[in-house]
Amino acid sequence: MLRDILKILENDARISPKQIATMTNTPEAEVTEEIRQAEKDRTIVKYKTIVNWDKLENERVSALIEVKVSPQRDVGFDAIAERIYRFPQARTVYLVSGTYDLLIIVTGKSMHEVADFVALKLAPIEGVQSTVTHFLLKRYKEDGEILAEKEEGTRQAIVL
């Protein structure tokens, strides 16, 4: 039952326990308790709203940063990853397979701010071998939600 509740909440965090109870044919009190316990043991870590910041004309820059690191004896990548995820600019940090080790998603007010983060905070960390920064130019879809609006055709038809 918990899996069903979590799937519903993952799709719509604003849905009420009463609605979930109806959808899962479970008593509301039981749903409420399952949610409370999942929050307590951090199975549910956070409720999230996806904001289309482009609608607000609010300058925000996001970047994907590939980081190649030297794993440390006895702790592997964890110690370096922890140093990185403690920075407020690092919104997301993943250990990945492939040509680099960590993938970091960073946000800032400008490209310059993100570049400063990479040059002054990320690159100097002991064990960081190299970084590659990719600035995000446009978000089309995030967490399953389509953000890009279809542009209506404004071109005139050519008549021969």
User: In terms of C-beta density within 10 A (0-12 exposed, 13-18 middle, 19 or more buried), how is residue 127 classed?
Assistant: middle
Sequence ranges of the domains in the chain: 2-40, 58-138
Question: What is the rounded CA–CA span in Å between residue 147 and residue 77?
Answer: 34
Residue 27 confidence (pLDDT) above 70: yes
Whole-number pLDDT of residue 146: 87
Instruction: Order across the sheet with 102-108: list the strands.
Output: 90-95, 102-108, 61-69, 128-135
Give one DSSP letter per residue of 99-149, joined into a string: S-SEEEEEEESSHHHHHHIIIIIITTSTTEEEEEEEE----SEETTEE-PP
Instruction: Tell me the whole-structure pTM to 2 decimals.
Output: 0.75
The CATH number for 58-138, chosen from 3.20.20.450, 1.10.760.10, 3.30.70.920, 3.40.50.300, is 3.30.70.920
* Interval 136-156 mean pLDDT: 78
